[in-house]
Structure 1
Amino acid sequence: MPKKRAHVLVALVVLCGFLCGSPAAGAPPAAAADSLWFDGSPLTVVDGRFVDAHGREVVLRGYNVSGETKLEEHGGLPFASVADARRSAAALRALGGGNAVRFLLSWAHAEPERGRVDTAYLAAVTDQMRAFLDTGIRVYPDFHQDLYSRHLFDPDSWYTGDGAPKWAVDAGDYPDESCGICLFWGQNITQNEAVMRATHDFWHNAHGVQDAFLATAEKTMAYVEQHLTDEQFAGVVGFDPYNEPHAGTYDPGQGSRAWERDVLWPFYERFRARMDAAGWQDKPAFVEPNLFWNANLDFQRQEGGLLDSGKLGPRYVFNTHFYDQKAISGVFMWGKAKDGQYTGDFGTVRDRAAATGTAAMVSEFGHPLSGTVSDKAPTVLKAMYQALDSRLPGSAWWTRPTASGPVLSATQWQWDLYNGRHREAMNGNPDKILTAGDAWNDEDLSAVRLDGTGTVTLRQDVRLLDRLYPAATAGTTLAFTYEDRSRDGSTTLTWNPVPASLPNVARLVGSGQYGVLLWRSDGGPAPTELHLPAAFPPATTTVVSDLGTLHGLPAYTASAPVAAAPEPGATGSRRLLLTARDTGVRHYALVTNGATAPATSLLQAARAELDAWAALS
C-alpha cells in the first residue's frame, strides 16, 4: 500500500472509532480502540513535552535494544534475526511494560569502507526496527559509540570499544592504546591516549571523519524513511546523533562548557541539517550534553548541560544519561539507595530541559546486576524510577503533590535477549570468547535473558519493571506517583505509604501496588491512558476517581469514563482509559490492585477522602 494512502486510511479508522461506533454496542470497532494511542501519527514537541495528534502529553518508557549492536558476533545488529527482534518486542511490551525503545545502530557496519554505505546492513536493521514499530512500540535510533572504536584496541587488551569503522581509525595513526591502572572501562575516556586523540580528531573533523559520519547518517536516515510505511515511520520519534559525547582532550584554554558551545553544538546543527535533508524534518534530534555534566561524583562532574545553546525548541530534545557512579564504584556509597535518593539529580534534568525550552529524555540509566555492587541494584533502580515519576520523595508526595514536576520519559539500559549466552571474540581474539553477562567490558545490565527453553525471562523484579505510568495524558499532568512494592531480596520496599490522614484509601490499597495521577483536562476527544501492568488485570483492578469509582474495569466504549482496552501489538498488555469531557478541570485517579472485592462503602469512603485531598492539592 502506498505510504500516504495507508496513513490516510489509519486516520479515517481512528476518526470512525470516535464517531461511528459499532453496530452491536455503540462502541468503536476493536481496531480503532486498539489504535487510540498508536494511531499512525508522529509525536511532536510542544511547550516542553511530547504531544500526539490528539494533543495528549505522552510519556515514553522502555529500554535500549540492544548492547548486542556493540558486539561483532551478529555483525553489529541488535538481534540475530527478525524473529528474535519480534520476540524481543512482544516481551518488552508484555513483560517490561515498555512503549518505546532506543534502537542502537553501528557506524562501523553502516560504512565499512569509506564512502560506501552497506545497504544490506541498513536493510537488516530496518527490518528489525520494523518488528518494534509493528508492535506499537515507538523507536528512536542511536548511532552508538563507546571509547570511539573497537579498532583502537589490541587483541589482548583488557578493554574494547565500539563505533567508528576501521578505516577511520587507520586514518589517524594513533598510539598503542593503554589505560594504565583502570578499574572501570569508562576511565579510558580520560586516561587512554589513543581514545582521547581519536575522539578529539572526530570533533575537529581531522581526516574528514566527521564529514563521512554525517554523510552516512543522512543516507541511513533516508533509507529508513524510504523503506518504512508512513504508519511505521510515524512511530519513529527522532534520532540520537551521538552517544555520550566527550571532547577527548580540550583545546588550550577550553573547558567543558566552551567545548559544548563551540564544538558539540555546531555538530548537532550539522546533524539536524542532515535529518532535514533525509526527510526527518518533523522529528527532533535527541541531543546529549557532555556525558559528565551531571555525574554524581564531584571530581568527575564537568560544567555543561548545553547551557549556552539557548532555547532548543521543538526540533531538539534534551537527552541525557544517568548512572549512580557512587553506587557503581563500591567505594563512595555505602549501603543501599533510599527514598528520594535521586530526586535532586533528575530534578536537574527537568530544570535543564525547561531552561532549553524542550522535552527531556533520560535515554540511559541502570545498574550492574552481577558483581560486587549488584546487591544495590534493587534499591538503586527503584529510586531511579521513583525520580523519573516525580521530583519528590515518597515521604513528601502526598502533602505537596503538585511539586512533582513532569513525568520523565526514559529508556533503561538494557534489553538484551542474549545475556549470558553470547559468543563474542573480544577484539577479534579467538582465545577470548566472551559468553558471560553482556559480553562487553564485563558489563551485566540486561533486564532480560533467554532461559533454557528459549523463553524470554526477566532478570529483575517484575514489580519494578512493569510499571503503571501515564502513557498519554489528555491535558496537563500535575502530579504522578507509583508505589511498585518491588523487592530487595525478601524485603518489600514501600517508600510511599498512604498517609494516616487517608485511612480508607490505605485500607483499599492494603499491601497492594498503587498509583495516583492528578491532571487538568483539555477537552480533547481522546482519553487519558495509563499502562496497566500485568499485575493489574482489569477484572480485579480498582479505580477511585472523580470520573467514576469501580472495582473491575469494563471494556472500552466511547461513553465509559473509566475502562480498559488492549495496548497495540496484540501482546496481551492492557491500558486504563480515563475520559474527561471538560476543559481546564482538575481530575484525579487512584489505581490499585490491593483489596479484593472491596465493599461499596469502602469505595465510597475512599473517594470522599480523595475528593477532599485533591481539592486541597
Structure 2
Amino acid sequence: MTNQTMREPHGSGRRTWAAVLVTLASSALCAGAPARAAEPAPYDARAAEVTVSGTHFVDGYGREVVLRGFNVSGETKLAENGGLPFASIEDARKSARALRELGGANSVRFLLSWAAAEPARGRVDEAYLARATAQLREFLAVGLRVYPDFHQDLFSRHIFDKDSWYSGDGAPRWVVQAGGYPRESCGICAHWGQNITQNQAVTKAMRDFWANRNGIQDAFLDTAQATMAYLAAHLDATELAQVAGFDPYNEPYAGQYASGEDGAAWEQGRLWPFYEKFRARMDAAGWRSKPALVEPNMFWNSNLSFMKQPGGLGGVGVLGPRYVFNTHFYDQARMSGFFNLTKAKDGEYAADFNAVRNRAAALNSPAIVSEFGHPLTGTSSDKAPSVLKGQYQALDSGLGGRAWWQNPAAAGPVVSATQWQWDIYSGRHHEAMNDNPNKIRTAGDAWNDEDLSAVRLDDAGTPVLRQDARLLDRLYPSAVAGHTLAFLYEDRSRDAGTATTWSRMPADMPESARLVGAELPYGVLVWRGGGGSGAPTELHLPAGFDPASTTVVSDLGTVTGPGTTGAIAVAPEPGGTRARRIVLSGAAEGLHFALVSAAPATAEQCAAVLRELGRWAAGAGLG
C-alpha cells in the first residue's frame, strides 16, 4: 500500500464525505470560531509530569492521564546497532516525530540492553548510555512521556548456538559463560516462545537469575542503578519530568519452579523481593518520585488454558503509589495459526482486559498493558485488523460496543498501553542471527521471524504506516480534569477494505446516528468535573479528523470547526509536531459529556444531538 493511501484518513468513505459537504454548503454549521492554525504549545512542566494516585496516573494538575503509544524499539534486541534502538540521532528524531504524527502517541516504552550496558562484569559502558540517552532525548523533545525497559526474551542471545533456529536477548555474554549451561535445544517447537518452558539452557539461566547465582541479579541491579543515575544526571529537569517510571524486567518467569512452588508462590518468594530491591535502586539513583512499572508472572493471563499459570501479583498486598501494575496481552490462540482461525469480534477481549482492570483495582494501582499486538505477516496475519481493533476497544472500555450505550457505567477505566512495536527499520535490517555471518536476517523484525512493527521506511526514507491509520491514531482522553466515567471510540478502521463498526448508536438517538454516519470515526467521553486546578480536559485528536470539519457536541457547547480559544478548542500537542488535541475548558463540578465526530453538522443537527445526548447521560446511571 502506498504512503498516500495510508495517509488518506477516510478511504472508501470519500464519496459519502463529499456528499455531506455538498449538503452542508448552504447550511449554517454549529456555532464556533472559524478554525485557524494554532500557535505552538508552550512547554508545561506540570502537564508533562506523571505520578500515581490510587488507580490512576495523574499529571501535575491532578488530571487523570492515559498513556498511549508504542514500544521503541525491537531493534534493541538485535546486534546490528549495538543494542541501541537506532543507528543515528537523525533516525531517532525521524521516528519520534512520526510516532507523534502518524501513531498519535503520547508515550513510549523505550528499550535498553543489559548486554550492551554491561559488556564486562562490573564495567558499565557509559558510551552506550550516552548514545541511548541522546536517542531517548529525541522522544522527549516532541513531548512524549518515556519509560525505559531493560528488555529480555529467552534470557540472552548468547545462550543460543550460531546455527540455532532461535535467538534471544538480554543478559551479557559473561553471564552465560559463568552459568555453564547445557547445549540449548527447544526440541519440537513451532514458535520461539516455547523455548521459555522447553529449552533447558534458557530455563536454568532464568532460575539462576532469580536465585542470584554467581551474583548475576546483583550485577543487573548495579547496572540498572547506574543507568538511572546516568539519565538523572544527563537529562535536564524538564526532560526528567517526562520520564514516567521504569519497567524493571520484561516478561518475568521462574524458568524452573522449586518443588511444590507455583507461579503465585514464585511471585511472592522471588519476583516481589527483586522488585523491592529494584525500587531501592531507583531511590538511590534519584528516581524516588517515579514508579516502578512491575510485571507479574508472564503466563498469569494467557488466553490458552494449558499455558495459564497462577500469578498476577495477587499475594503481595496493595502496591501503593511507588509501583504500577504492568502486564502484557497477546491473543496467543489466534497468533498460533491453528488454535483459533476466526477473526476477533465485538467485545471479545472485554473479559481479558477486565481481568487486568480488576487486578489493578485490587492492588490499588493504575494498569498499563506495556505490550499487545498481532503479526502483520504469516499464517494469522489476516486476523490483525480485527485483533488490534478488539484490543484497542477493550483498552478503551470494559464493554463491547453493542453494550456500551445501554450501560456505560460498567465501562470501567480507560487503560494505558503501548503497542508492540514501532521499528522504522522493519524489513530493512541486516542482522547476523546469533552472530552468524551466514544467517543474515532482513525481513520483518529480523528476530525469530517476528513481524509486528506498525511502521516502516519507504524508499525515500520517510516513515509510513503498515496498518490502518484509523486504527492506530486514535481519539483518547489524554488528560481528564476530574474523573472519567466512560469512554468509547469507534475508529471505523478497515478490515479487507470494509469499514468495521462495532459501536452503533441506540435507536432512540436517530440524530446522533445521522451525525456519526457509517464511515467516519467518532468518540464519546463522559466525566465528572472536579479537582479545582482549572486545567482543561484534553483528548488526542487523530490526524484523520480535519479540525475545520470536526464536530464537538458537549454540555459545554457545540461547534463544527473549533478554533483555538473558547470552551471547545483545538490546540497542538506539546512538542512542536503537527499532532493536535481537543481542549474542553470550564467544566465545573458535576457530570459532563462530549461527542467528537469527524463529520460536520448544521446548527440544527447539533441542537438535536445535544438533546439526545443530554437525555441519554441523565438516564445512563452514571451518577
Partner of residue 475 from structure 1, selected from 471, 482, 487: 482
SS of 1:358's partner is coil
Counterpart CA distance in 2 for 1:62 and 1:181 is 36
Partner of residue 520 from structure 1, selected from 510, 528, 532: 528
2:569 is equivalent to residue 563 of structure 1: yes
Q: Which amino acid aligns with 1:152?
A: I
Aligned-residue offset at 1:309: 0.7
Aligned twin of 2:558 = 549
Aligned-residue offset at 1:581: 4.1
Counterpart CA distance in 1 for 2:615 and 2:504 is 18
Counterpart CA distance in 2 for 1:499 and 1:221 is 51
Q: Which runs of 5+ in 1 are unaligned?
A: 1-28
Q: Deviations over 1:546-605 (max 9, x none)?
A: 00011110113xxx111110111111110000013412x1000000012x3x22111111
Aligned twin of 2:114 = 107
SS of 1:613's partner is helix
2:538 is equivalent to residue 532 of structure 1: no
Aligned twin of 2:92 = 85
Counterpart CA distance in 1 for 2:42 and 2:259 is 57
Aligned twin of 2:586 = 580
SS of 1:171's partner is helix
- 1:40/1:231 contact within 8 Å kept: no
- 2:489/2:523 contact within 8 Å kept: yes
Q: Which amino acid aligns with 2:543?
A: A
Counterpart CA distance in 2 for 1:42 and 1:376 is 37
Aligned twin of 1:612 = 615
- 1:132/1:139 contact within 8 Å kept: yes
Runs of 4+ in 1 over 3 A off after TM superposition: 33-36, 38-41
- 1:40/1:230 contact within 8 Å kept: no
- 2:47/2:61 contact within 8 Å kept: no
Counterpart CA distance in 2 for 1:130 and 1:159 is 33
- Per chain length, whose mean CA-contact separation is higher, i.e. which structure has more relative contact order (CA < 8 Å, sep 6+)? 2
Partner of residue 254 from structure 1, selected from 246, 250, 261: 261
SS of 2:609's partner is helix
Counterpart CA distance in 1 for 2:39 and 2:428 is 40
Aligned twin of 2:455 = 448
Residue correspondence of structure 1 range 22-101 to structure 2 within 5 A:
30=39, 33-35=41-43, 39=46, 41-101=48-108
Q: Deviations over 1:462-487 (max 9, x none)?
A: 00000000000000000000000001
Counterpart CA distance in 2 for 1:587 and 1:329 is 44
Aligned-residue offset at 1:253: 1.2
Q: Which amino acid aligns with 2:580?
A: R
Partner of residue 287 from structure 2, selected from 280, 285, 306: 280
SS of 1:518's partner is strand
**Which region of structure 1 is more displaced relative to structure 2, 487-496 or 171-180?**
487-496
Residue correspondence of structure 1 range 287-298 to structure 2 within 5 A:
287-298=294-305
Q: Deviations over 1:277-330 (max 9, x none)?
A: 000000000000000000000000000100111000000000000000010111
Partner of residue 310 from structure 1, selected from 313, 317, 331: 317
Partner of residue 592 from structure 1, selected from 597, 610, 618: 597
SS of 1:415's partner is coil
Aligned-residue offset at 1:524: 2.6
Aligned twin of 1:603 = 606
Aligned twin of 1:190 = 197
- 2:46/2:61 contact within 8 Å kept: no
Pair 536,34 (structure 1): closer, same or farther in 2 beyond 3 Å: farther
Residue correspondence of structure 1 range 371-520 to structure 2 within 5 A:
371-511=378-518, 512-520=520-528
- 1:40/1:232 contact within 8 Å kept: no
Counterpart CA distance in 1 for 2:439 and 2:428 is 14
Aligned twin of 1:215 = 222
Q: Which amino acid aligns with 2:596?
A: V
SS of 2:321's partner is helix
Counterpart CA distance in 1 for 2:235 and 2:604 is 53
Q: Which amino acid aligns with 2:211?
A: H
Aligned-residue offset at 1:334: 2.2
Q: Which amino acid aligns with 2:617?
A: A
- 1:284/1:314 contact within 8 Å kept: yes
Aligned-residue offset at 1:361: 0.5
Aligned-residue offset at 1:34: 3.7
Aligned-residue offset at 1:609: 0.6
Count residues with an aligned counterpart: 581
- 1:323/1:367 contact within 8 Å kept: yes
Counterpart CA distance in 2 for 1:384 and 1:240 is 22
Pair 533,491 (structure 1): closer, same or farther in 2 beyond 3 Å: same
Q: Deviations over 1:31-60 (max 9, x none)?
A: 6x4435x64752110021000011100000
SS of 1:347's partner is helix
Tell me the TM-score normalised to structure 2 length.
Answer: 0.92
SS of 1:460's partner is coil
- 1:203/1:264 contact within 8 Å kept: yes
SS of 2:142's partner is coil
SS of 2:179's partner is coil
SS of 1:314's partner is coil
- 1:390/1:405 contact within 8 Å kept: yes
- 1:418/1:449 contact within 8 Å kept: yes
SS of 1:141's partner is strand
Aligned-residue offset at 1:415: 0.1
Aligned twin of 1:25 = none
Task: Report the identity percentage.
Answer: 65
- 1:40/1:235 contact within 8 Å kept: no
Counterpart CA distance in 1 for 2:477 and 2:415 is 10
Q: Deviations over 1:502-551 (max 9, x none)?
A: 00001111122100000000133110000000111211100000000111
Aligned twin of 1:157 = 164
Counterpart CA distance in 2 for 1:521 and 1:561 is 14
SS of 2:85's partner is coil
Q: Deviations over 1:235-278 (max 9, x none)?
A: 00000000000000001111111000000000000000000000
SS of 1:540's partner is coil
- 2:556/2:587 contact within 8 Å kept: no
Aligned twin of 2:371 = 364
SS of 1:292's partner is coil
Counterpart CA distance in 2 for 1:93 and 1:320 is 23
Partner of residue 207 from structure 2, selected from 189, 192, 200: 200
Counterpart CA distance in 2 for 1:534 and 1:352 is 34
Counterpart CA distance in 2 for 1:161 and 1:599 is 57
Counterpart CA distance in 1 for 2:346 and 2:47 is 39
Counterpart CA distance in 2 for 1:602 and 1:537 is 19
Counterpart CA distance in 2 for 1:453 and 1:485 is 30
SS of 1:254's partner is coil
Aligned-residue offset at 1:407: 0.2
Counterpart CA distance in 2 for 1:61 and 1:79 is 21
Counterpart CA distance in 1 for 2:533 and 2:588 is 8
Counterpart CA distance in 1 for 2:186 and 2:301 is 24
SS of 1:381's partner is helix
